[in-house]
Chain A
């Protein structure tokens, strides 16, 4: 620790570079600590949102044995303790992954709903089919209700002799809906045995907000079902255990047994969602006697797909980001040791041991990076829910402290100045060539492996795939190395051109650029990785955006679509008069039409639309409806057969003709296939469909659908114009629904912030590249200024010197970024975000490319401005003497 004061003083002199170290440590610590937990937190929130989107009653995992008519036969269980032990068994059989997100097993036993007997309703002489009662034993209810009159049911054990009487309690609201009173005795026939149900009291739930009730709608009010025949009310008569036993023993009625695993949405995390769904399936396979059901399976299936994609895409971006951060950190450390080289050499020559030098450098770096790491960790820890991991921050701190130590020790480990600066190696060492070749080969092998492996490993379910994330970084590094090897050649050409030109700035700048030291090579790789990350994010995002837009167009078929069963032809004219509407095309969609040939009958969707008009309507949009069949095909059998377009699947399956299309509402059509159409808007993807001309349905056909083109249309206005039962779907709403899912928003936000951070790092990399070159450039500039170089030309020299490398790195990085989605393509499935439409063709987005170019110029300009300010303080004389001093 002895040389510490001296090195700390050095730090004060080199404060710019130490400040850069601090800044990089701060941001990197923040990123390392916050990024992954924040993302996980957002994934978890999305998982909970997906769970809570499912209605509570449908959400829970239920294991049911239906008394009769169901898939499974009811076990003959008469005593409550048996039910409870069965519940315990089910609890024990439940896979841990499911148990983690559910509460303790609950169970209920219920009879079927029974119409209230005669004498209890409005007309006492008849049973009332619109009011029903079912009897249920649910051990959780008694503790959660308060009887406002009467008393809780209390059935004696053993039951009294004679005609069985069962006591039951009812919810107050239900009682009112069923028009029952406390004390009523209802004669039912359960199975084939008569039973009297005595209503002992009315209850209110202690807390209506209790989640217990959300899965039991019948306990806190009547279950109301409205249909064309009228309204039907069903109430639940709450039994006690003895009551259930009485019903069981006295009658031969059948029961529905339900064991329920109540889902706890707050226990859900993204990591638990997938295993929980699998566990439900496993449980279903294990418990074959019972029917296992949960609404989660479907809801979380979508979420899993989205999560997998988000994790794949974001892990690639995040790894790239971390690689950039690591590169910038390495760059700063390298620059730091370069700056300390002279004083360290003097100290070494004066007898400092490596340990003394190393501890001094380490202490100086620690003095800066420790507070910086703390400053980066604190806000991250505040942002992250729970306790933030310290390991990332410690790793950054260790790197920021130890890398300069290692570099300094390596630089000063030998006898001393064994090299001569006036001797320059021309060719790369074999070791470097081998290492570079290895990196390129590794990247190539990684790409091949990734592409052949594809999605088959399913490691995405277990979290981010490290291999998937590592390959793009490797690829970026390999591209960087290749660029570095290749770019001197065009530069040499440019150099030859500039040597002939008149401008001294470009000549000297390019000449200096082609003699960059290896220190300046690192910023290039960092910059390349940074642009690759930005390019990747941009390409995926624009590809996703295009797919979502196309998907929204395909789902609606136009700017707006009006569906209805009772639309009329005149509706089109009324719609045209709605403000904003430019064009309207009527169409008829008949789901469940049949397409028959002599050999088979296939269910199809029949689409009747005027294709020419529809194509006019969709001109200039992302969807291209098929062209109408050629007129010749139509005229050959005019009158007899309708020229039709078939979906590819249908065309394959149809077999030889003649064909007929028939649906209840339209006359049968004899079909003449005139081609295939890959897809048709508004027809479900993958469905078989037949497209026929609208006029083939006859003059009196009514449309079921209007495609509406226009801007700024009011959906309510469209509905009014179209008719009573019309349903209006606008493309904007569909698009918003696609893009508004939590996961889609998450991916977009993450990409946005990621690009911002990467841009910051890129600026820093450019700045560091400039600082690295500033010493020798300062000398050149000073020398040239004595020969008459102006101040402005000196500034431009800095640009000319770094611009070629910068441009090469940025272009190469952008190309890598564009290629990445293709490279990792098999592992990135955007369909969960686009409603099933694959994102086709990740094409470069001209707007984004322009934005990148502009950003690069802005950031490079910023870096040059900062460098000018830093170096501007030096006087000519000082700069000229600098060479002598180093």
Chain B
């Protein structure tokens, strides 16, 4: 608790400093992951695919966020950008203080080595097939130049933490799918990164196993304090994180925030509240189900009330057009 207050105090100091300097706080200045109006366009000889079209996302330090969305919505692109494997076309992307648009080769290397770790859906991409689990965990530490002894100890500890200590000497093909993914999480956090990114880590697994893998992710998040972003289709995963961000057509469209409430009887209850995301330009994505139900198209009417904004379908306008 003392630490907590300490953090608050230092945050306040930073705020004071900024005020003293006369600057307005930048967007997401205090966030660990910042995406501001992120755009990624793939261009090949006359064909352009806009994968991200002005995406905003803030993730606080130590938070665990799930990103959901239909396939093709830009989830994986976002994750590739955050992991430094892809470069955005425009916008701002900062992870743990590193500006991903202006990383030099050396900084990018440091970023990959020390700041992020990630887990892909396919075990084959996470683990080299001819190395044992322990050797796979040691690999990133080799790259960053950790001493052999420290490597071995940390690899053992991490595998134990993920609950796959018994697999240390096994090759990936001798391990079950869930074990492979848990070993992959150990690989991802081997160099004690600040951010863990996972792209459908449970995509190929059954419910029970995916539960184990999620528990391992959760463990990494809690035990190691690593900020985690998980792209997933798995509702089981999406329901267990603090915040689920929905992406539609390359933009964040909705957020579900879960809070643990304690009722009068002292029973804990998780309350999930779904929000639509209002971006800094004032754009709002209305859920398709809502707009479809009311036949909203092209134009809607807005009305400012005292505590909310009303949205109506543009019936009158259409009738006017028909009359005209």
| A binding-site residues for B, Cβ under 8 Å | 2-3, 6, 9-10, 12-13, 342-343, 345-354, 356, 413, 415-420, 423-427, 884-886
Instruction: State the Cβ distance, A579 to closest chain B Cβ, in Å.
Output: 77
A416 contacts across to B, CB distance below 8 A: 80, 84-86
Query: In the complex, what residue of chain A is closest to B51 when comparing beta carbons?
Result: A420
B232 contacts A by Cβ under 8 Å: no
Residues 159-189 of B at the A interface (beta carbon under 8 Å) = 187
Query: In the complex, what residue of chain A is closest to B117 when comparing beta carbons?
Result: A350
- Report whether over half of chain B's contact residues are helix, strand or loop; otherwise say mixed: mixed
CB pair B129 A350 closer than 8 Å = no
Given contacts A13-B129, A418-B86, contact A349 B109 (CB under 8 A): no
Complex: how many Å from CA A817 to CA B73?
A: 55
Given contacts A347-B143, A419-B42, 13 further A-B contacts (CB under 8 A): A3-B142, A9-B128, A10-B130, A342-B124, A347-B139, A352-B143, A353-B109, A416-B86, A418-B86, A420-B42, A423-B42, A423-B49, A425-B44
CB pair B85 A349 closer than 8 Å = yes
Instruction: State the Cβ distance, B113 to closest chain A Cβ, in Å.
Output: 3
Instruction: State the Cβ distance, A361 to closest chain B Cβ, in Å.
Output: 14
B23 contacts across to A, CB distance below 8 A: none
A354 contacts across to B, CB distance below 8 A: 105
CB pair A417 B131 closer than 8 Å = no
Complex: how many Å from CA A345 to CA B128?
A: 11
Query: In the complex, what residue of chain A is closest to B126 when comparing beta carbons?
Result: A346
Complex: how many Å from CA A419 to CA B44?
A: 9
Digitize B87-106: 1 where CB-to-A-CB distance is under 8 Å, 0 elsewhere.
10000000000000001010
Kindly identify which residue among A9, A345, A351 contacts B144, using a CB–CB cutoff of 8 Å: A351
Complex: how many Å from CA A425 to CA B46?
A: 9
Complex: how many Å from CA A783 to CA B105?
A: 41
The 15 listed contacts between A and B (C-beta, < 8 Å) are A3-B143, A6-B131, A6-B139, A9-B131, A10-B130, A347-B143, A349-B83, A351-B191, A415-B85, A415-B103, A418-B86, A425-B44, A426-B45, A884-B122, A885-B122
Complex: how many Å from CA A658 to CA B145?
A: 106
Instruction: State the Cβ distance, A879 to closest chain B Cβ, in Å.
Output: 14
Residue from A6, A417, A418 whose CB has the most chain B CB atoms within 10 Å:
A6
CB pair A351 B44 closer than 8 Å = no
B214 contacts A by Cβ under 8 Å: no
CB pair A351 B124 closer than 8 Å = no
Digitize B134-171: 1 where CB-to-A-CB distance is under 8 Å, 0 elsewhere.
01000110111100000000000000000000000000
Given contacts A12-B130, A351-B112, A418-B86, contact A423 B47 (CB under 8 A): yes
- Report whether over half of chain A's contact residues are helix, strand or loop; otherwise say mixed: loop
Given contacts A349-B85, A351-B191, A415-B84, contact A420 B143 (CB under 8 A): no
CB pair B139 A3 closer than 8 Å = yes
Digitize B182-216: 1 where CB-to-A-CB distance is under 8 Å, 0 elsewhere.
00000100010000000000000000000000000
Residues 228-251 of B at the A interface (beta carbon under 8 Å) = none
A12 contacts across to B, CB distance below 8 A: 130
Query: In the complex, what residue of chain B is closest to A428 when comparing beta carbons?
Result: B45
Instruction: State the Cβ distance, A281 to closest chain B Cβ, in Å.
Output: 66
B280 contacts A by Cβ under 8 Å: no
CB pair B128 A427 closer than 8 Å = no
A345 contacts across to B, CB distance below 8 A: 125
Instruction: State the Cβ distance, B272 to closest chain A Cβ, in Å.
Output: 33
B129 contacts across to A, CB distance below 8 A: 13
Kindly identify which residue among A9, A342, A353 contacts B125, using a CB–CB cutoff of 8 Å: A342
Instruction: State the Cβ distance, A630 to closest chain B Cβ, in Å.
Output: 73
A886 contacts across to B, CB distance below 8 A: 124
A419 contacts across to B, CB distance below 8 A: 42, 44
CB pair A13 B130 closer than 8 Å = yes
Instruction: State the Cβ distance, A886 to closest chain B Cβ, in Å.
Output: 8
CB pair A351 B122 closer than 8 Å = no
Given contacts A2-B142, A351-B191, contact A343 B122 (CB under 8 A): no
Query: In the complex, what residue of chain A is closest to B83 when comparing beta carbons?
Result: A349
CB pair A351 B113 closer than 8 Å = yes
Complex: how many Å from CA A413 to CA B85?
A: 11
Query: In the complex, what residue of chain B is closest to A885 when comparing beta carbons?
Result: B124
Instruction: State the Cβ distance, B161 to closest chain A Cβ, in Å.
Output: 19
Query: In the complex, what residue of chain A is closest to B47 when comparing beta carbons?
Result: A423
CB pair A350 B143 closer than 8 Å = yes
Instruction: State the Cβ distance, A798 to closest chain B Cβ, in Å.
Output: 25
Complex: how many Å from CA A415 to CA B111?
A: 11
Instruction: State the Cβ distance, B231 to closest chain A Cβ, in Å.
Output: 15
Instruction: State the Cβ distance, B121 to closest chain A Cβ, in Å.
Output: 9
CB pair B139 A417 closer than 8 Å = no
B143 contacts across to A, CB distance below 8 A: 2-3, 347, 350-353, 356
B83 contacts across to A, CB distance below 8 A: 349
Complex: how many Å from CA A41 to CA B114?
A: 61
A425 contacts across to B, CB distance below 8 A: 44-45
B108 contacts A by Cβ under 8 Å: yes
Instruction: State the Cβ distance, B184 to closest chain A Cβ, in Å.
Output: 10
Complex: how many Å from CA A343 to CA B49?
A: 28
B80 contacts across to A, CB distance below 8 A: 416-417
Query: In the complex, what residue of chain A is closest to B110 when comparing beta carbons?
Result: A351
Instruction: State the Cβ distance, A386 to closest chain B Cβ, in Å.
Output: 46
Instruction: State the Cβ distance, A880 to closest chain B Cβ, in Å.
Output: 14
Query: In the complex, what residue of chain A is closest to B193 when comparing beta carbons?
Result: A351
Kindly identify which residue among B44, B85, B108, B187 contacts A424, using a CB–CB cutoff of 8 Å: B44
Kindly identify which residue among A2, A347, A415, A884 contacts B145, using a CB–CB cutoff of 8 Å: A2
Instruction: State the Cβ distance, A723 to closest chain B Cβ, in Å.
Output: 87
B125 contacts across to A, CB distance below 8 A: 342, 345-346, 885
B47 contacts across to A, CB distance below 8 A: 423
CB pair A350 B139 closer than 8 Å = yes
Query: In the complex, what residue of chain B is closest to A422 when comparing beta carbons?
Result: B49
Complex: how many Å from CA A427 to CA B269?
A: 59
CB pair B118 A343 closer than 8 Å = no
A10 contacts across to B, CB distance below 8 A: 128, 130
Instruction: State the Cβ distance, B134 to closest chain A Cβ, in Å.
Output: 13
Given contacts A342-B124, A352-B143, A356-B143, contact A9 B130 (CB under 8 A): yes
CB pair B87 A418 closer than 8 Å = yes
A342 contacts across to B, CB distance below 8 A: 124-125
Instruction: State the Cβ distance, B189 to closest chain A Cβ, in Å.
Output: 12
A348 contacts across to B, CB distance below 8 A: 112
Instruction: State the Cβ distance, B172 to closest chain A Cβ, in Å.
Output: 11
Instruction: State the Cβ distance, B96 to closest chain A Cβ, in Å.
Output: 15
A353 contacts across to B, CB distance below 8 A: 109, 143
Instruction: State the Cβ distance, B201 to closest chain A Cβ, in Å.
Output: 15
Instruction: State the Cβ distance, B111 to closest chain A Cβ, in Å.
Output: 9
Instruction: State the Cβ distance, B51 to closest chain A Cβ, in Å.
Output: 8
Instruction: State the Cβ distance, A782 to closest chain B Cβ, in Å.
Output: 17
B42 contacts across to A, CB distance below 8 A: 419-420, 423
B49 contacts across to A, CB distance below 8 A: 420, 423
A2 contacts across to B, CB distance below 8 A: 142-143, 145
Instruction: State the Cβ distance, A9 to closest chain B Cβ, in Å.
Output: 4
Complex: how many Å from CA A2 to CA B83?
A: 23
